[in-house]
C-alpha cells in the first residue's frame, strides 16, 4: 500500500540552502535528465518508520537501502518502473509506477497477522544479508529462546559469527578480536558507555522499546568513528501514530510496561517504556521480618525509555528521545557491634534531539544534538554500633564519570542512477573524571589527600564523505574518508581514516566483497582482569597517551540458494591494532587508589587478530534458522607484560559454533532452540607454588593468559503460545523453557585448589613437595523460566 505525492519547488530558501544547491548543480553530468524517486517506508498499522528497509529497482537490477529514518532515494529513468520494497518480518510490497517527474512516496508494509507465515520478496533484507554487517529487528530476536526469561539484543548478536559475549552473565561484546570498549554503541545516535544491567546478566536495551539494530563488523561507513572494532547502531521505536497501545511483560528477573500512541493522530506520537527488577521487593521485607541483626543484600535496577516525534509536513520531522538506566547494589553486614556496608551503583543517561528534512527529492538532511553521561561509584563504610562508639565512622568512595555533548550534521544525496553520497560534520566535547575518590577517617598514605577529582577534557571535530557508485551492473565501489582532530590543552591529534569496499554480483546470485577500513579511538576502558564486580574506568587520551589505531582487511562471498531457500556466506579478516593500553600486572582500580590511572597502566601495546566466519541462514517459511562458525586467533603484545612476548588475548576464542532455530508449529504455537560451543577462555593462572621464609605459600605465575578454561557449550529451548485473552480479547503470549537444558557445568572462574603434600619431608616433618590442582566454579546449571506478555 502506498500514498503518492508530487514534489513542489520550494518558493523560499534559507541561507544555508545555497551550499546544497551548488552541490546539486555540480553533482554529475546530465543530472537534470533523470527522475528522483524518494520517500519513506512505514508500518501500515502503527505508521512508524521501518529503518534500513530494502528498495529494489527491478529494471535497473540495483537497489538502495533506507536509512534509520526509513527514508530512501534513488535516481531512475522516465517511464514504467517496478520496485520491490521489503523489511524483515513484513510482507514485501511490489510498487509499479509510470514516472514522468520527481516523485515522493509513502510505502506501507504489513506485518503478518497472528499465526501467519512471513512472506519475503526478492532481495529481502534478511538477517545477515550483507557481508561485514548484521541487521536484525527486535521481532526476530523474540523468536529466540530468552535468557532467564529476558529477550536480549546483545546475547542475540553474540550468536552470530565473529561475535561473542565472553561468559555466562556477560553483556559485553567482543567483535573480531576487539575488546568490549572498542564497540561504538549508539541509541538513537547517543553513545552508550555501559550496556549491562544486573552485573551483565541482561543488557540495558529494553526489547519493547527497541525497533531495530545493525552491527558493523568491518567496512565501516565513514559517518562512524571513535572506536576500533565495531559499530552497533540501535533505533528506538517511534511510537504508534494511529492508536494507543500498552504492553506488559512479567518475567523471572524483571517486568516492563510500555505505552505508546498518537499525540496528534498521524502527526505526532510518543513512547514511554519502563523496566525494573523485583529483588528489592523480596530482600527488604525479609530484612524487616527476620530481623536487623544479620547481613542484608539489596539490588535494584531500572531503565526508562521515552520518545516524542512530531511531523511538520511530509518533508520535515522532529524527534526527541531520552534514556535513563541505573543499577544499585548494596550489602550490609553486622558483626561484633560493627556495621560494614559495601555499595556499587552505575548507570547511563542519554538525550537525543534530531531534526530531519527532505530538500526537493534528492537531498536528505539530518541534524542532531546528543548528550551522554555515565557514572559508576564504589563505596565501603564502617560504623561502630557500640554505645558509646568505639571509633568514628570511616568510609571510602571511588568511581569514574564521563559525559559528552555532540552536534552532528549529515546530508544524503542521490547524484545519479547508480550513485549516491553521504557527507557531514561532527563536533563533540568530552569530559572525564577517570578515578575520583573521597576518604573519611582512612589513612592510606602520608602524602595521600582525602579526595581526588581530576578532570580531563578535549574537543573533537570530524568531517566525512561517503560515495556509493555502481560502476557496471555487476561491479560497485563504496568509498569513504573520515578526518578527525582531538584538541587538548597542550596537543592536537589528527587522524585520517580511509574506508573502501569493492563488491561484485554475478548473474547466478553470488556476491563478492573486498574491504579495508582504518579506525581511530581516543577513549579507553580499563577493566578488571578477573571476574568480579563490574568496575570499569573510562579514560581519555592525554598529552602522553595517543589515540589507538586499527586497520582491518576483509573479504567475503555470499550465495543465495533460492531453491532451498538458504543463504550461505563466508568471510575472512585480518586486523592490526596499535596504541593499546592495559593495567599493569596485578593492578586493579579499587586496590590502587593511591596512584592515578595513568600510573597504573602500560602503554603502546599492539595487537593482531584474524579469522574465518561462516553463516548459513534460512529466514522464510515455518522454519527460520541459522548456523554460524568462527575460526579465529587474537594476540596482544606489551613491552612490560609477558616479558615483551606475544600472548593470547583474554577474549580469544579459537573455535566458536552457534546455531539457533525457530519453528512455527501451528497458528498459536512455536518453539525455538539455541546451541553454543566455543573454546575455553584464556586465563592467567598460577602454575606452581613455593614457600617463603615465613612458611607462607605463594603462587607462581609464569606468563599472561597461560592456560585456558574448559570449553563452553550449552543448549537453550523455548516454547511459546500466542492467543487472545478471554475477556477483552487482547493479544497475549506465554513462553516457557530452559536455559542450559542439559545443565552443563560451564566454568565461570578457575582457582588453585588446596595443595596436596607429597614426597620426602624435612627434619620438622614438613613435606618438601606439593601437588596443585585447579578447581572451577559455575554460575548456572539448568535454569527454567516462564514469561507472560499482553498488549491492550
Q: Is 318 exposed, middle or buried (0-12, 13-18, 19+ CB in 10 A)?
A: middle
What average pLDDT does range 365-375 have in this prediction? 97
Least reliable range by pLDDT among 57-71, 520-534, 556-570, 713-727: 520-534
Q: How confident is the model at residue 534 (pLDDT cuts 50, 70, 90)?
A: low
DSSP-assigned beta bridge partners for residue 86: 54
CA distances in angstroms from 589 to 583, 602, 678, 705, listed in the order given: 9, 14, 30, 20
**Nearest residue to 653 (alpha-carbon basis) of 216, 164, 210:** 164
Report pLDDT for 285: 67
pLDDT digits (tens, 9 = 90+) for 380-403: 999 887 777 778 888 989 889 999
Q: Assess contact for 260 and 244: CB atoms under 8 A.
A: yes
- Which run of H or E residues covers position 655? strand 655-664
What average pLDDT does range 618-637 have in this prediction? 92
Report pLDDT for 483: 98
Q: How confident is the model at residue 209 (pLDDT cuts 50, 70, 90)?
A: very high
pLDDT at residue 12 greater than cutoff 80: no
How far is Cα of residue 392 from the mean position of the Cα atoms in its chain?
A: 45
Whether the bond into 565 is cis, omega within 30 of 0: yes
Q: How confident is the model at residue 19 (pLDDT cuts 50, 70, 90)?
A: very low
**Rounded Cα–Cα distance for residues 408 and 461 (Å):** 10
- One-letter-per-residue 3-state SS of 683-730: ECCCCEEEECCCCCEEEECCCCCCEECCCEEEEEEEEEEEEECCCCCC
Instruction: Count Cβ atoms below 10 Å from residue 329 Cβ, excluding itself.
Output: 20
**Nearest residue to 399 (alpha-carbon basis) of 538, 300, 599, 200:** 538
Q: How confident is the model at residue 683 (pLDDT cuts 50, 70, 90)?
A: confident
pLDDT at residue 26 greater than cutoff 80: no
CA distances in angstroms from 294 to 337, 381, 608, 652, 684, listed in the order given: 11, 16, 51, 42, 36
Cell of 715: 543448549
Amino acid at each position: 500500500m502506498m500514498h503518492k505525492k508530487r514534489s513542489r519547488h520550494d518558493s523560499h530558501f534559507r541561507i544555508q540552502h545555497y551550499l546544497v544547491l551548488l552541490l546539486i548543480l555540480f553533482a554529475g553530468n546530465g543530472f537534470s535528465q533523470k527522475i528522483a524517486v524518494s520517500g519513506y517506508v512505514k508500518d501500515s498499522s502503527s505508521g512508524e518508520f521501518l529503518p534500513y528497509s530494502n528498495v529494489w529497482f527491478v529494471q535497473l537490477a540495483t537497489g538502495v537501502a533506507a536509512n534509520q529514518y526509513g527514508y530512501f532515494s534513488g535516481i531512475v529513468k522516465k517511464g514504467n518502473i517496478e520496485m520491490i520494497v521489503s523489511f524483515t518480518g513484513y510482507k514485501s510490497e511490489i510498487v509499479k509506477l509510470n514516472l514522468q517527474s520527481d516523485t515522493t512516496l509513502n510505502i506501507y508494509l504489513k506485518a503478518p497477522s497472528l499465526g501467519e507465515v512471513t512472506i519475503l520478496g526478492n532481495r529481502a533484507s534478511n538477517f545477515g544479508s550483507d557481508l561485514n554487517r548484521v541487521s536484525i529487528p527486535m521481532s526476530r530476536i523474540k523468536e529466540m529462546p530468552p535468557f532467564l526469561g529476558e529477550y536480549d539484543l546483545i546475547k542475540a548478536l553474540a550468536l552470530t559469527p565473529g561475535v561473542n559475549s565472553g561468559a555466562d552473565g556477560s553483556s559485553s561484546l567482543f567483535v573480531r578480536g576487539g575488546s568490549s570498549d572498542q564497540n561504538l554503541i549508539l541509541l538513537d545516535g547517543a553513545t552508550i558507555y555501559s550496556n549491562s544491567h544486573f552485573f551483565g546478566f541482561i543488557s540495558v536495551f529494553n526489547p519493547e522499546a527497541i525497533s531495530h539494530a545493525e552491527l558493523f563488523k568491518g567496512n565501516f561507513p565513514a559517518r562512524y568513528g571513535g572506536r576500533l572494532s565495531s559499530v552497533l547502531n540501535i533505533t528506538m521505536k517511534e511510537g504508534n501514530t494511529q492508536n494507543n497501545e500498552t504492553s506488559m511483560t512479567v518475567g523471572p528477573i524483571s517486568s516492563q510496561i510500555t505505552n505508546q500512541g498518537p499525540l496528534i493522530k498521524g502527526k505526532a506520537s510518543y513512547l514511554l517504556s519502563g523496566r525494573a527488577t523485583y529483588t528489592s521487593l523480596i530482600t527488604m521485607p525479609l530484612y524487616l521480618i527476620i530481623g536487623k541483626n544479620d547481613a542484608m543484600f539489596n539490588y535494584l535496577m531500572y531503565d526508562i525509555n521515552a520518545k516524542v516525534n512530531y511531523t511538520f509536513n511530509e518533508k520535515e520531522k522532529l524527534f526527541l528521545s531520552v534514556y535513563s538506566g541505573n543499577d544499585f547494589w548494596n550489602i550490609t553486614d553486622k558483626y561484633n557491634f560493627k556495621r560494614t556496608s559495601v555499595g556499587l551503583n552505575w548507570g547511563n543517561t542519554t538525550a537525543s534531539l534530531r531534526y530531519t528534512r527532505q530538500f526537493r527529492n534528492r537531498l536528505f538532511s539530518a541534524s542532531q544534538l546528543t548528550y551522554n553521561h555515565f557514572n559508576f561509584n564504589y563505596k565501603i563504610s564502617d560504623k561502630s554500633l557500640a554505645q558509646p562508639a568505639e571509633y568514628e565512622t570511616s568510609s571510602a568512595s571511588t568511581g569514574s564519570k564521563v559525559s559528552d555533548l555532540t552536534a552532528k550534521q549529515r546530508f544524503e544525496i542521490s547524484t545519479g542512477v547508480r550513485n549516491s553520497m553521504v557527507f557531514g560534520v561532527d563536533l563533540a566535547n568530552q569530559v572525564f573524571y577517570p578515578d575520583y575518590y573521597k576518604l573519611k577517617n582512612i589513612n592510606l598514605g602520608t602524602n595521600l589527600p582525602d579526595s581526588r577529582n581530576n578532570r580531563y577534557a578535549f574537543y573533537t571535530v570530524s568531517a566525512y564523505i561517503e560515495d556509493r557508485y555502481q560502476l557496471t551492473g555487476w561491479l560497485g565501489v563504496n568509498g569513504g574518508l573520515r578526518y578527525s582532530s582531538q584538541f587538548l590543552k597542550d596537543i592536537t591529534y589528527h587522524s585520517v581514516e580511509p574506508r573502501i569496499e569493492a563488491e561484485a554480483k554475478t548473474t547466478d546470485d553470488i556476491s563478492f566483497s573486498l574491504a579495508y577500513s582504518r579506525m581511530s579511538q581516543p577513549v579507553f576502558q580499563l577493566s578488571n582482569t578477573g571476574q568480579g564486580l563490574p568496575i570499569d574506568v573510562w579514560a581519555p587520551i592525554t598529552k602522553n597517551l595517543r589515540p589507538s589505531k586499527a586497520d582491518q582487511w576483509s573479504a567475503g562471498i555470499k550465495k543465495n540458494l533460492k531453491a532451498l531457500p538458504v543463504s550461505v556466506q563466508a568471510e575472512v579478516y585480518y586486523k592490526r591494532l596499535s596504541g593499546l593500553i592495559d593495567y599493569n600486572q596485578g593492578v586493579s582500580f579499587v586496590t590502587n587508589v593511591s596512584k592515578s590511572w595513568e600510573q597504573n597502566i602500560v602503554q603502546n601495546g599492539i595487537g593482531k587478530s584474524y579469522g574465518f566466519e561462516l553463516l548459513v541462514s534460512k529466514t522464510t517459511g515455518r522454519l527460520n534458522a541459522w548456523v554460524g562458525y568462527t575460526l579465529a586467533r587474537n594476540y596482544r603484545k606489551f613491552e612490560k607484560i609477558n616479558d615483551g612476548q606475544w600472548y593470547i588475548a583474554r577474549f580469544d576464542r579459537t573455535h566458536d559454533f552457534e546455531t539457533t532455530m525457530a519453528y512455527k508449529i501451528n497458528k498459536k504455537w512455536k518453539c525455538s532452540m539455541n546451541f553454543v560451543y566455543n573454546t575455553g577462555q584464556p586465563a592467567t593462572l598460577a602454575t606452581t607454588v613455593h614457600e617463603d621464609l615465613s612458611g607462607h605459600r605463594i603462587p607462581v605465575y609464569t606468563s599472561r593468559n597461560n592456560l585456558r578454561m574448559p570449553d563452553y557449550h550449552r543448549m537453550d529451548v523455548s516454547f511459546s503460545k500466542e492467543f487472545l485473552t478471554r475477556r477483552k480479547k487482547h493479544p497475549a503470549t506465554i513462553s516457557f523453557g530452559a536455559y542450559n537444558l542439559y545443565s552443563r557445568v560451564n566454568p565461570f572462574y578457575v582457582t588453585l585448589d588446596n595443595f596436596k603434600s607429597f614426597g620426602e619431608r624435612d627434619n620438622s616433618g614438613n613435606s618438601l613437595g606439593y601437588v596443585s590442582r585447579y578447581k572451577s566454579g559455575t554460575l548456572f546449571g539448568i535454569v527454567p523460566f516462564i514469561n507472560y506478555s499482553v498488549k491492550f
